[in-house]
Structure formats: C-alpha cells, structure tokens
A = this chain, B = another copy of it.
Amino acid sequence: MAFNLDRFKFDAQGLIPAIIQDSRTNEVLMLAYMNKEALAKTLTSGQTWFYSRSRQRLWHKGETSGNIQEVDEVYFDCDADALLIKVRQHGAACHEGYKSCFHYRIEPDGRVALVGQPAFDPADVYGDR
C-alpha cells in the first residue's frame, strides 16, 4: 500500500483516536487510540491494532478474547486527526461483555441507564482479573 501515514496529525503522545463502527448496523462500538505502528498493522493485516495507553504497548484487538475486528473501510476526517474504521466485529467489542463500549446513557433526569444486553460473561473470557 502506497499510503503515507505522515499525512496524519498524531498528538504529543504519538496517538490518533480511532472510532470503531459496525459495518452492518453503523453502531459505534468503541473509541481507541493508534500510534503509527498500530495504524500500519491495521492497514496491512485487515484487523484492528491499537496502542494501549494504560498498558503502554501495542494491542491486537481480540488477542485475549478472540473478539477480533475485521476491517472493511478506513476513513479519516477533514483535519486528518481522527480515524473512522468500519469493521465486522466478532463476538462483542466491550470487555464488559456488551456489543458496544457505549452502553451507558445519561437520561434527561441525570440517571444513568445501562443499555443493551451483555453478549458474554467477562469472567468466562478473561478469567478473574
């Protein structure tokens, strides 16, 4: 692929945010960060790789859970400082067992509603951590 990754604006930590969206339903699944190496691996492997800010290392999504993301389309925005990646999600995206990480909704009265049903039990997938 002839694409030049230097056209993107990585932040002071060398990261760019990537919105992950389900190709079929357009549901937003998660937001995570890529460094240049993670983005290159994503583009060449066809599966998502991220940079984990908490663990400070590259992270192949699904490496523990098997819930990989197969990349269908990669978009970037007008400022070249954010990515939108459309994927086919295996299993569920969220480590809490939900399809999407965005399963908390702020209700008009300020309460927080838990939205959706868990697709798996995290203890079965990750063990007791």
What residues make up the interface of A, taking CB atoms closer than 8 Å to B?
1-3, 17, 19, 21, 25-28, 30-31, 43, 73-80, 82, 84, 94-96, 98, 101-106, 108-112, 115
Contact = CB atoms under 8 A, between A and B. Distances in A.
Chain A: interface secondary structure? loop
Contacts of A27: 26
Given A26-B27, A31-B17, A31-B19, A78 B106 contact: no
10 contacts: A1-B109, A1-B110, A19-B28, A25-B26, A75-B115, A76-B102, A78-B96, A80-B104, A82-B101, A84-B102
Contact of A1 (B1, B78, B108): B108
